[in-house]
Amino acid sequence: MKAETLNQAWVHQAQLDAERGVIECRICRQRVGLDEAISLWRNGVLVFAVCDRCAESHDVLLHPTEAGLEVRARQRSPLILRPPGTGGAAHVHRG
């Protein structure tokens, strides 16, 4: 499926979810209440949504382009993979 088709599907589902008072975060893909997210709407259409948890740990950049709005999210702290301990798997630590 093309990226544009996936985005259109997300926008459509987001509109339906918003009517029920929930929204899907574009970073972690979890559905949260509208009061637990930041959402950007343009002409009545949802453009972007980020939950409070992801907003705390990411820098979100919105940049207008000729084609529309470019959105980039970058994690504020590095993702560090630590070597496994005795017999255990490596674990992830968010610095």
| CB of 60 closer than 8 Å to CB of 53 | no
Please compute the mean of the pLDDT values over residues 26-37 and round it to a whole number: 91
At 22, is the pLDDT very low, low, confident or very high (cuts 50, 70, 90)? Answer: very high
The verdict on pTM exceeding 0.85 is no
The answer on pLDDT for 79 being more than 70 is no
Give domain limits for the chain. Answer: 3-76
Name the more confident of 41 and 88: 41
Distance from C-alpha of 27 to C-alpha of 48, rounded to nearest angstrom: 10
Handedness of CA 35, 40, 43, 46 (dihedral sign): negative
